[in-house]
A and B are shown apart, each in its own frame.
Chain A
Amino acid sequence: MRLSLPKLMAAALATSWLLLGSAPARAQVTSEPSAVIFPDPAKFARGFFTEGEVGAVTFFGPASDTIAPGFAVGARLGYDIFRFFALQLHALGSTHETKGDTPVAGQLLQTYQGTIEGKLTLRFVQWSLFAEGGFGAARMSTNLLYALDLARYRTGFTAGGGGGVDYHSLSRHFSIGLRAGYFVLFDVSSSQDLITTAYLRYTF
Protein backbone atom coordinates (compact mmCIF):
# COMPACT_ATOMS: atom_id res chain seq x y z
CA MET A 1 0.00 0.00 0.00
CA ARG A 2 1.38 3.36 -0.89
CA LEU A 3 0.52 6.37 1.32
CA SER A 4 -0.16 9.71 -0.20
CA LEU A 5 1.97 12.68 0.96
CA PRO A 6 -0.79 14.37 2.98
CA LYS A 7 -1.40 11.12 4.87
CA LEU A 8 2.31 10.66 5.50
CA MET A 9 2.63 14.16 6.94
CA ALA A 10 -0.36 13.54 9.20
CA ALA A 11 1.16 10.32 10.54
CA ALA A 12 4.52 12.06 11.22
CA LEU A 13 2.81 14.82 13.16
CA ALA A 14 0.74 12.31 15.16
CA THR A 15 3.81 10.37 16.40
CA SER A 16 6.23 13.28 16.84
CA TRP A 17 4.90 14.07 20.38
CA LEU A 18 6.32 10.75 21.60
CA LEU A 19 9.83 11.87 20.76
CA LEU A 20 9.37 15.39 22.04
CA GLY A 21 8.09 14.11 25.45
CA SER A 22 11.12 11.87 26.29
CA ALA A 23 13.74 12.91 28.94
CA PRO A 24 17.14 13.97 27.76
CA ALA A 25 19.69 11.17 27.67
CA ARG A 26 22.83 11.44 29.91
CA ALA A 27 26.02 9.37 29.82
CA GLN A 28 26.42 6.87 32.81
CA VAL A 29 29.70 7.23 34.77
CA THR A 30 31.05 3.90 36.11
CA SER A 31 34.26 2.89 37.90
CA GLU A 32 36.17 -0.37 37.65
CA PRO A 33 34.60 -2.94 40.01
CA SER A 34 36.72 -3.87 43.05
CA ALA A 35 38.04 -7.42 43.34
CA VAL A 36 35.76 -9.77 45.30
CA ILE A 37 37.37 -11.10 48.51
CA PHE A 38 36.24 -14.58 49.39
CA PRO A 39 35.56 -15.28 52.09
CA ASP A 40 34.67 -11.89 53.42
CA PRO A 41 36.83 -11.17 56.49
CA ALA A 42 33.73 -9.72 58.10
CA LYS A 43 32.40 -13.25 58.22
CA PHE A 44 35.12 -14.30 60.70
CA ALA A 45 34.52 -13.08 64.22
CA ARG A 46 37.62 -12.62 66.35
CA GLY A 47 38.13 -12.13 70.06
CA PHE A 48 36.70 -14.14 72.92
CA PHE A 49 35.74 -17.67 72.06
CA THR A 50 34.45 -20.81 73.70
CA GLU A 51 34.72 -24.39 72.59
CA GLY A 52 32.99 -27.56 73.64
CA GLU A 53 34.60 -30.87 72.77
CA VAL A 54 34.05 -34.61 73.02
CA GLY A 55 36.47 -37.38 72.25
CA ALA A 56 38.83 -39.82 73.88
CA VAL A 57 41.88 -39.94 76.11
CA THR A 58 44.37 -42.74 75.60
CA PHE A 59 47.28 -43.42 77.90
CA PHE A 60 50.76 -44.32 76.78
CA GLY A 61 53.70 -45.61 78.76
CA PRO A 62 53.39 -47.78 81.89
CA ALA A 63 49.90 -46.43 82.63
CA SER A 64 48.61 -47.85 79.33
CA ASP A 65 49.04 -51.39 80.67
CA THR A 66 46.43 -50.84 83.36
CA ILE A 67 44.22 -47.96 82.18
CA ALA A 68 42.00 -48.37 79.14
CA PRO A 69 41.19 -45.48 76.78
CA GLY A 70 38.20 -43.50 77.93
CA PHE A 71 35.51 -41.06 76.87
CA ALA A 72 36.40 -37.39 77.32
CA VAL A 73 34.47 -34.14 77.45
CA GLY A 74 36.04 -30.72 77.70
CA ALA A 75 35.78 -26.99 77.18
CA ARG A 76 38.00 -24.09 76.24
CA LEU A 77 37.73 -20.40 76.91
CA GLY A 78 40.13 -18.19 75.01
CA TYR A 79 40.95 -14.91 73.34
CA ASP A 80 42.36 -14.25 69.88
CA ILE A 81 45.12 -11.76 70.56
CA PHE A 82 46.01 -11.69 66.86
CA ARG A 83 44.42 -13.40 63.90
CA PHE A 84 47.15 -16.01 64.12
CA PHE A 85 47.63 -16.31 67.89
CA ALA A 86 45.33 -17.01 70.81
CA LEU A 87 45.58 -17.79 74.50
CA GLN A 88 43.15 -20.30 75.97
CA LEU A 89 42.19 -22.11 79.14
CA HIS A 90 41.36 -25.76 78.72
CA ALA A 91 39.53 -28.13 81.05
CA LEU A 92 39.00 -31.78 80.20
CA GLY A 93 37.53 -34.70 82.10
CA SER A 94 37.71 -38.33 81.04
CA THR A 95 36.59 -41.62 82.48
CA HIS A 96 38.52 -44.86 82.26
CA GLU A 97 38.36 -48.47 83.32
CA THR A 98 41.37 -50.28 84.71
CA LYS A 99 42.44 -53.44 82.93
CA GLY A 100 45.00 -56.19 83.31
CA ASP A 101 45.22 -59.02 85.80
CA THR A 102 45.51 -57.09 89.04
CA PRO A 103 42.84 -57.22 91.74
CA VAL A 104 41.74 -53.70 90.80
CA ALA A 105 41.02 -54.54 87.15
CA GLY A 106 37.60 -53.26 86.14
CA GLN A 107 37.55 -50.28 88.47
CA LEU A 108 36.58 -46.82 87.21
CA LEU A 109 38.93 -43.88 87.26
CA GLN A 110 38.35 -40.30 86.16
CA THR A 111 41.05 -37.87 85.12
CA TYR A 112 40.71 -34.09 85.15
CA GLN A 113 43.16 -31.98 83.22
CA GLY A 114 43.40 -28.22 83.26
CA THR A 115 45.91 -26.34 81.14
CA ILE A 116 46.74 -22.89 79.89
CA GLU A 117 47.65 -22.96 76.23
CA GLY A 118 48.92 -20.86 73.35
CA LYS A 119 47.58 -21.48 69.86
CA LEU A 120 49.01 -20.57 66.46
CA THR A 121 46.66 -20.58 63.48
CA LEU A 122 47.28 -20.60 59.75
CA ARG A 123 44.13 -19.93 57.73
CA PHE A 124 43.31 -21.09 54.18
CA VAL A 125 40.00 -19.60 53.21
CA GLN A 126 37.45 -21.47 55.32
CA TRP A 127 39.98 -23.98 56.58
CA SER A 128 42.72 -23.44 59.08
CA LEU A 129 45.48 -25.49 60.56
CA PHE A 130 46.61 -24.84 64.09
CA ALA A 131 49.26 -25.90 66.56
CA GLU A 132 48.91 -25.42 70.27
CA GLY A 133 50.73 -26.26 73.47
CA GLY A 134 50.55 -25.59 77.16
CA PHE A 135 50.98 -26.77 80.69
CA GLY A 136 48.87 -27.30 83.76
CA ALA A 137 47.74 -29.95 86.17
CA ALA A 138 46.22 -33.41 85.92
CA ARG A 139 44.28 -34.96 88.77
CA MET A 140 43.02 -38.50 89.23
CA SER A 141 39.70 -39.09 90.95
CA THR A 142 41.10 -41.92 93.05
CA ASN A 143 44.42 -43.22 94.31
CA LEU A 144 44.17 -46.23 91.98
CA LEU A 145 47.46 -45.37 90.33
CA TYR A 146 49.08 -45.27 93.75
CA ALA A 147 47.66 -48.72 94.49
CA LEU A 148 49.17 -49.87 91.20
CA ASP A 149 52.55 -48.30 92.02
CA LEU A 150 52.22 -45.91 89.10
CA ALA A 151 51.89 -42.61 90.92
CA ARG A 152 52.60 -41.26 94.34
CA TYR A 153 50.21 -38.31 94.21
CA ARG A 154 46.79 -37.86 92.71
CA THR A 155 47.61 -34.42 91.30
CA GLY A 156 50.58 -33.77 89.08
CA PHE A 157 52.10 -31.45 86.52
CA THR A 158 51.32 -31.96 82.85
CA ALA A 159 52.62 -30.30 79.69
CA GLY A 160 52.38 -30.99 76.01
CA GLY A 161 50.95 -29.87 72.74
CA GLY A 162 49.27 -30.86 69.53
CA GLY A 163 47.37 -29.53 66.60
CA GLY A 164 44.31 -29.84 64.46
CA VAL A 165 42.20 -28.62 61.63
CA ASP A 166 39.32 -26.17 61.78
CA TYR A 167 36.49 -25.54 59.31
CA HIS A 168 34.66 -22.24 59.47
CA SER A 169 30.99 -22.19 58.57
CA LEU A 170 31.08 -18.57 57.30
CA SER A 171 28.27 -17.80 59.68
CA ARG A 172 30.72 -15.44 61.38
CA HIS A 173 30.74 -17.15 64.80
CA PHE A 174 30.86 -20.88 64.31
CA SER A 175 33.51 -23.33 63.34
CA ILE A 176 34.08 -27.02 63.92
CA GLY A 177 37.24 -29.02 63.99
CA LEU A 178 39.32 -31.97 65.03
CA ARG A 179 42.35 -31.83 67.28
CA ALA A 180 44.86 -34.10 68.96
CA GLY A 181 47.23 -33.33 71.80
CA TYR A 182 49.96 -35.35 73.45
CA PHE A 183 50.65 -34.53 77.08
CA VAL A 184 53.29 -35.80 79.45
CA LEU A 185 51.98 -36.73 82.89
CA PHE A 186 55.06 -36.01 84.97
CA ASP A 187 53.75 -37.67 88.13
CA VAL A 188 52.47 -40.86 86.53
CA SER A 189 55.67 -42.90 86.15
CA SER A 190 56.83 -41.71 82.71
CA SER A 191 53.38 -41.94 81.19
CA GLN A 192 51.65 -39.74 78.63
CA ASP A 193 48.15 -39.26 77.35
CA LEU A 194 46.82 -38.58 73.88
CA ILE A 195 43.72 -36.41 73.74
CA THR A 196 41.70 -36.63 70.52
CA THR A 197 38.52 -34.62 70.26
CA ALA A 198 36.00 -33.07 67.89
CA TYR A 199 34.90 -29.59 68.86
CA LEU A 200 32.43 -26.83 68.15
CA ARG A 201 33.75 -23.30 68.50
CA TYR A 202 31.82 -20.09 69.00
CA THR A 203 33.62 -16.78 68.65
CA PHE A 204 31.86 -13.75 70.09
Chain B
Amino acid sequence: MTENDRRIGSLIMHGALALLAGLAMIGCQELNAPLYFTGADIVATGMEDTPPTTGLSLRFRNPTDKERQALQMQADALGYGMDVPWVSRDKVHIELLYKITNTSNRDDDGNPVEGRPGTFNVLVDGATEYTKYDYQIVSDAIAMGDPDEAVFFPLMQTMPRMLAAGESFSGVLREDDFDEGSLDIDALGRWLDADPASPTFAGVLINDSDVNPVGLNLVPPNVVLPAMVEINVILQTDVKSTCQYVVRVRDDDDRLLHNDSDSLYQTSPTLFQPAVMP
Protein backbone atom coordinates (compact mmCIF):
# COMPACT_ATOMS: atom_id res chain seq x y z
CA MET B 1 0.00 0.00 0.00
CA THR B 2 1.48 3.33 -1.01
CA GLU B 3 1.41 6.39 1.18
CA ASN B 4 -1.07 7.94 -1.21
CA ASP B 5 -3.39 4.93 -0.94
CA ARG B 6 -3.17 5.08 2.82
CA ARG B 7 -4.05 8.74 2.80
CA ILE B 8 -7.02 8.25 0.51
CA GLY B 9 -8.16 5.27 2.61
CA SER B 10 -7.98 7.31 5.75
CA LEU B 11 -9.91 10.09 4.08
CA ILE B 12 -12.66 7.73 2.98
CA MET B 13 -12.80 6.04 6.38
CA HIS B 14 -13.14 9.35 8.13
CA GLY B 15 -15.68 10.48 5.58
CA ALA B 16 -17.77 7.35 6.10
CA LEU B 17 -17.59 7.71 9.87
CA ALA B 18 -18.53 11.37 9.62
CA LEU B 19 -21.47 10.42 7.42
CA LEU B 20 -22.60 7.75 9.88
CA ALA B 21 -22.22 10.19 12.76
CA GLY B 22 -24.14 12.79 10.81
CA LEU B 23 -26.95 10.39 10.07
CA ALA B 24 -27.04 9.32 13.70
CA MET B 25 -27.16 12.92 14.84
CA ILE B 26 -29.92 13.72 12.38
CA GLY B 27 -31.71 10.62 13.59
CA CYS B 28 -31.54 11.84 17.17
CA GLN B 29 -32.32 15.49 16.63
CA GLU B 30 -34.09 15.20 13.30
CA LEU B 31 -33.44 18.84 12.50
CA ASN B 32 -36.29 19.94 14.71
CA ALA B 33 -38.69 17.96 12.57
CA PRO B 34 -42.31 19.00 12.93
CA LEU B 35 -45.13 16.91 14.31
CA TYR B 36 -48.58 16.84 12.74
CA PHE B 37 -51.96 16.72 14.47
CA THR B 38 -55.04 16.07 12.40
CA GLY B 39 -58.19 17.94 13.36
CA ALA B 40 -61.70 16.66 12.85
CA ASP B 41 -63.10 17.63 9.43
CA ILE B 42 -65.47 20.58 9.40
CA VAL B 43 -68.63 20.01 7.37
CA ALA B 44 -70.61 23.12 6.50
CA THR B 45 -74.01 23.28 4.82
CA GLY B 46 -73.48 26.93 3.93
CA MET B 47 -76.63 28.05 5.66
CA GLU B 48 -75.51 28.10 9.30
CA ASP B 49 -76.14 31.14 11.48
CA THR B 50 -73.07 30.17 13.45
CA PRO B 51 -70.24 28.85 11.28
CA PRO B 52 -69.23 25.27 12.11
CA THR B 53 -66.03 24.73 14.04
CA THR B 54 -63.80 21.98 15.32
CA GLY B 55 -60.60 22.25 17.27
CA LEU B 56 -57.82 20.47 18.98
CA SER B 57 -55.72 20.93 22.07
CA LEU B 58 -51.99 20.37 22.02
CA ARG B 59 -50.81 18.33 24.98
CA PHE B 60 -47.56 19.30 26.66
CA ARG B 61 -45.59 17.64 29.43
CA ASN B 62 -45.00 19.24 32.80
CA PRO B 63 -41.63 20.93 33.18
CA THR B 64 -39.07 19.17 35.32
CA ASP B 65 -37.94 20.78 38.59
CA LYS B 66 -34.83 22.02 36.84
CA GLU B 67 -36.89 23.51 34.02
CA ARG B 68 -39.23 25.19 36.54
CA GLN B 69 -36.22 26.73 38.25
CA ALA B 70 -34.95 27.96 34.90
CA LEU B 71 -38.33 29.53 34.11
CA GLN B 72 -38.39 31.24 37.50
CA MET B 73 -34.86 32.53 37.05
CA GLN B 74 -35.76 33.79 33.60
CA ALA B 75 -38.84 35.57 34.98
CA ASP B 76 -36.75 37.18 37.72
CA ALA B 77 -34.19 38.29 35.17
CA LEU B 78 -36.80 39.77 32.82
CA GLY B 79 -38.32 41.68 35.68
CA TYR B 80 -41.75 42.54 34.31
CA GLY B 81 -43.56 40.77 37.13
CA MET B 82 -45.28 38.00 35.16
CA ASP B 83 -44.59 34.32 34.69
CA VAL B 84 -42.58 33.06 31.77
CA PRO B 85 -44.82 30.64 29.88
CA TRP B 86 -43.75 27.01 29.71
CA VAL B 87 -45.32 26.71 26.26
CA SER B 88 -43.64 29.75 24.78
CA ARG B 89 -43.81 31.12 21.29
CA ASP B 90 -40.05 31.01 20.85
CA LYS B 91 -39.98 27.27 21.57
CA VAL B 92 -43.22 26.04 20.04
CA HIS B 93 -43.94 26.99 16.44
CA ILE B 94 -47.38 26.32 15.01
CA GLU B 95 -48.77 26.27 11.48
CA LEU B 96 -52.19 25.32 10.11
CA LEU B 97 -52.46 23.41 6.84
CA TYR B 98 -55.98 23.29 5.44
CA LYS B 99 -57.90 22.15 2.42
CA ILE B 100 -61.38 23.41 1.54
CA THR B 101 -63.62 21.62 -0.95
CA ASN B 102 -66.83 23.00 -2.36
CA THR B 103 -69.06 19.91 -2.13
CA SER B 104 -72.24 21.53 -3.42
CA ASN B 105 -72.09 19.28 -6.48
CA ARG B 106 -72.79 16.21 -4.29
CA ASP B 107 -75.83 15.41 -2.21
CA ASP B 108 -75.62 13.90 1.27
CA ASP B 109 -75.34 10.41 -0.24
CA GLY B 110 -72.53 11.44 -2.55
CA ASN B 111 -74.62 11.47 -5.71
CA PRO B 112 -73.86 14.20 -8.26
CA VAL B 113 -76.17 17.20 -8.24
CA GLU B 114 -75.94 20.63 -9.76
CA GLY B 115 -73.54 22.65 -7.65
CA ARG B 116 -72.86 26.33 -7.33
CA PRO B 117 -69.82 28.46 -6.61
CA GLY B 118 -69.33 29.85 -3.15
CA THR B 119 -66.93 31.81 -1.01
CA PHE B 120 -65.11 30.58 2.03
CA ASN B 121 -62.97 31.98 4.78
CA VAL B 122 -61.07 30.04 7.42
CA LEU B 123 -60.99 31.65 10.87
CA VAL B 124 -58.86 30.58 13.78
CA ASP B 125 -59.42 31.15 17.48
CA GLY B 126 -57.75 29.43 20.36
CA ALA B 127 -56.03 29.70 23.67
CA THR B 128 -52.63 30.07 25.20
CA GLU B 129 -51.92 28.74 28.66
CA TYR B 130 -53.18 32.09 30.04
CA THR B 131 -55.92 33.35 27.76
CA LYS B 132 -58.67 31.89 25.60
CA TYR B 133 -60.15 33.83 22.71
CA ASP B 134 -63.52 32.93 21.18
CA TYR B 135 -64.71 35.34 18.51
CA GLN B 136 -68.32 34.25 19.03
CA ILE B 137 -68.24 35.17 22.72
CA VAL B 138 -66.61 38.49 21.82
CA SER B 139 -69.16 39.13 19.10
CA ASP B 140 -72.05 38.33 21.45
CA ALA B 141 -70.61 40.55 24.18
CA ILE B 142 -70.31 43.48 21.81
CA ALA B 143 -73.77 42.85 20.40
CA MET B 144 -75.18 43.14 23.93
CA GLY B 145 -73.82 46.66 24.09
CA ASP B 146 -74.97 47.61 20.62
CA PRO B 147 -77.12 45.04 18.82
CA ASP B 148 -76.79 46.98 15.57
CA GLU B 149 -73.04 46.72 15.58
CA ALA B 150 -71.95 43.61 13.71
CA VAL B 151 -68.41 43.00 14.99
CA PHE B 152 -66.46 40.09 13.76
CA PHE B 153 -62.92 39.77 15.08
CA PRO B 154 -61.38 36.32 14.81
CA LEU B 155 -57.86 35.93 16.11
CA MET B 156 -56.59 34.91 12.66
CA GLN B 157 -58.20 34.46 9.29
CA THR B 158 -57.41 33.68 5.67
CA MET B 159 -58.38 35.81 2.71
CA PRO B 160 -61.95 35.06 1.49
CA ARG B 161 -61.86 33.06 -1.73
CA MET B 162 -64.30 31.85 -4.33
CA LEU B 163 -64.51 28.16 -5.17
CA ALA B 164 -66.43 26.61 -8.07
CA ALA B 165 -68.56 23.55 -7.40
CA GLY B 166 -66.34 20.52 -6.78
CA GLU B 167 -63.20 22.65 -6.60
CA SER B 168 -60.65 22.47 -3.77
CA PHE B 169 -58.18 24.93 -2.34
CA SER B 170 -55.23 24.16 -0.07
CA GLY B 171 -53.63 26.83 2.04
CA VAL B 172 -51.51 27.56 5.06
CA LEU B 173 -51.75 29.84 8.07
CA ARG B 174 -48.04 30.17 8.65
CA GLU B 175 -45.90 30.27 11.75
CA ASP B 176 -45.65 34.04 11.57
CA ASP B 177 -49.46 34.27 11.46
CA PHE B 178 -49.57 32.24 14.67
CA ASP B 179 -46.80 34.38 16.14
CA GLU B 180 -48.97 37.43 15.55
CA GLY B 181 -51.99 35.61 16.97
CA SER B 182 -50.02 34.71 20.11
CA LEU B 183 -49.00 38.34 20.57
CA ASP B 184 -52.58 39.50 20.08
CA ILE B 185 -54.09 37.02 22.50
CA ASP B 186 -51.46 37.76 25.14
CA ALA B 187 -51.98 41.50 24.71
CA LEU B 188 -55.70 40.95 25.27
CA GLY B 189 -55.20 38.59 28.19
CA ARG B 190 -52.25 39.77 30.25
CA TRP B 191 -51.56 43.26 28.94
CA LEU B 192 -54.98 44.69 28.29
CA ASP B 193 -55.22 48.40 28.89
CA ALA B 194 -58.21 48.93 31.21
CA ASP B 195 -58.80 52.38 29.79
CA PRO B 196 -62.12 52.12 27.88
CA ALA B 197 -60.73 54.45 25.26
CA SER B 198 -57.73 52.21 24.72
CA PRO B 199 -57.52 50.69 21.27
CA THR B 200 -56.03 47.45 22.61
CA PHE B 201 -58.93 45.18 21.71
CA ALA B 202 -59.66 46.10 18.12
CA GLY B 203 -56.23 47.60 17.63
CA VAL B 204 -54.24 44.43 18.12
CA LEU B 205 -56.64 42.24 16.18
CA ILE B 206 -56.91 44.48 13.16
CA ASN B 207 -53.31 45.58 12.86
CA ASP B 208 -50.18 43.66 12.07
CA SER B 209 -47.89 44.47 15.01
CA ASP B 210 -44.87 44.75 12.70
CA VAL B 211 -46.62 47.47 10.74
CA ASN B 212 -48.64 49.18 13.43
CA PRO B 213 -48.12 48.26 17.08
CA VAL B 214 -51.24 50.08 18.18
CA GLY B 215 -52.76 48.64 21.38
CA LEU B 216 -49.52 47.02 22.52
CA ASN B 217 -48.43 49.86 24.75
CA LEU B 218 -48.50 47.75 27.93
CA VAL B 219 -46.67 44.77 26.46
CA PRO B 220 -43.07 44.79 27.71
CA PRO B 221 -40.55 44.77 24.90
CA ASN B 222 -38.71 41.79 26.44
CA VAL B 223 -41.85 39.74 27.07
CA VAL B 224 -41.74 35.99 26.49
CA LEU B 225 -44.98 35.29 24.69
CA PRO B 226 -47.01 32.11 25.15
CA ALA B 227 -47.73 29.86 22.18
CA MET B 228 -51.21 28.58 21.44
CA VAL B 229 -52.16 25.35 23.17
CA GLU B 230 -55.66 25.19 21.76
CA ILE B 231 -56.57 25.82 18.14
CA ASN B 232 -60.15 26.19 16.96
CA VAL B 233 -60.83 26.31 13.24
CA ILE B 234 -64.01 27.86 11.91
CA LEU B 235 -65.25 27.48 8.35
CA GLN B 236 -67.27 30.42 7.15
CA THR B 237 -68.91 29.70 3.83
CA ASP B 238 -72.12 30.26 1.91
CA VAL B 239 -72.12 26.92 0.18
CA LYS B 240 -71.90 23.28 1.18
CA SER B 241 -68.23 22.68 1.89
CA THR B 242 -65.77 20.63 3.89
CA CYS B 243 -62.54 21.66 5.54
CA GLN B 244 -59.76 19.23 6.36
CA TYR B 245 -56.92 20.58 8.41
CA VAL B 246 -53.71 19.55 10.10
CA VAL B 247 -51.83 21.47 12.77
CA ARG B 248 -48.06 21.36 12.31
CA VAL B 249 -45.92 21.93 15.39
CA ARG B 250 -42.17 22.40 15.66
CA ASP B 251 -41.24 21.72 19.23
CA ASP B 252 -37.70 23.02 19.85
CA ASP B 253 -37.21 21.67 23.36
CA ASP B 254 -39.29 18.51 23.24
CA ARG B 255 -42.10 19.91 25.36
CA LEU B 256 -44.96 18.06 23.70
CA LEU B 257 -46.25 15.14 25.72
CA HIS B 258 -45.29 11.85 24.12
CA ASN B 259 -43.71 9.81 26.87
CA ASP B 260 -45.97 7.81 29.17
CA SER B 261 -43.66 8.60 32.06
CA ASP B 262 -44.34 12.35 31.73
CA SER B 263 -47.40 14.02 33.20
CA LEU B 264 -49.74 16.34 31.33
CA TYR B 265 -49.25 20.08 31.71
CA GLN B 266 -52.66 21.35 32.76
CA THR B 267 -53.72 24.77 31.56
CA SER B 268 -56.76 26.79 32.57
CA PRO B 269 -56.83 29.87 30.36
CA THR B 270 -59.12 32.75 31.20
CA LEU B 271 -61.74 33.50 28.58
CA PHE B 272 -61.27 36.96 27.17
CA GLN B 273 -64.38 39.13 27.27
CA PRO B 274 -64.29 42.68 26.00
CA ALA B 275 -65.61 45.48 28.11
CA VAL B 276 -69.14 46.20 26.90
CA MET B 277 -69.59 49.82 26.20
CA PRO B 278 -73.11 51.10 27.04
Tell whether, in the assembled complex, residue B36 and residue A173 are in contact, meaning their CB atoms are under 8 Å apart.
no
Cα distance A50–B20 when bound, in Å?
11
Q: How many residues of A contact B (CB 8 A)?
A: 32
- Note all chain A residues with C-beta closer than 8 A to B81: none
Minimal Cβ-Cβ distance residue in B for A174: B8
Minimal Cβ-Cβ distance residue in B for A201: B12
Tell whether, in the assembled complex, residue A112 and residue B27 are in contact, meaning their CB atoms are under 8 Å apart.
yes
Tell whether, in the assembled complex, residue A141 and residue B20 are in contact, meaning their CB atoms are under 8 Å apart.
no
**CB-based A-B contact count at 8 angstroms:** 87
A residues 62-99 in Cβ contact with B at 8 Å: 73-77, 91-93
Answer whether residue B257 sits at the interface, using C-beta atoms and an 8 A cutoff: no
Q: How many residues of B contact A (CB 8 A)?
A: 31
Among A75, A76, A77, residue most surrounded by chain B Cβ atoms (within 10 Å): A75
Cα distance A171–B2 when bound, in Å?
11
Q: A103-B97, A103-B170, A202-B8 are in contact. Are A75 and B36 (CB under 8 A)?
A: no
Minimal Cβ-Cβ distance residue in A for B37: A147
- Note all chain B residues with C-beta closer than 8 A to A176: none
Cα distance A52–B99 when bound, in Å?
41
- Note all chain B residues with C-beta closer than 8 A to A139: 27
- Note all chain A residues with C-beta closer than 8 A to B38: 147
- Note all chain B residues with C-beta closer than 8 A to A112: 23, 26-27
Q: A104-B97, A173-B5 are in contact. Are A143 and B36 (CB under 8 A)?
A: yes
Contacts A102-B244, A103-B170, A107-B34 known; 10 new A-B pairs at CB < 8 A: A50-B16, A75-B16, A76-B16, A91-B23, A93-B27, A101-B99, A101-B170, A102-B99, A105-B170, A146-B36
A-B contact pairs, 9 of them (CB 8 A): A51-B16, A74-B23, A75-B23, A91-B19, A101-B99, A104-B246, A107-B36, A141-B31, A204-B9
Q: Which of A's residues lie within 8 Å of B, judged by CB?
A: 50-52, 73-77, 91-93, 101-105, 107, 110, 112, 139, 141-144, 146-147, 171-173, 200, 202, 204
Q: Which of B's residues lie within 8 Å of A, judged by CB?
A: 1, 5, 8-9, 12-13, 15-16, 19-20, 23-24, 26-27, 30-31, 33-38, 97-99, 168, 170, 244-246, 248
Closest 6 pairs between A and B when the two form their complex, measured CB to CB: A147-B36, A50-B16, A141-B33, A202-B12, A103-B97, A103-B99
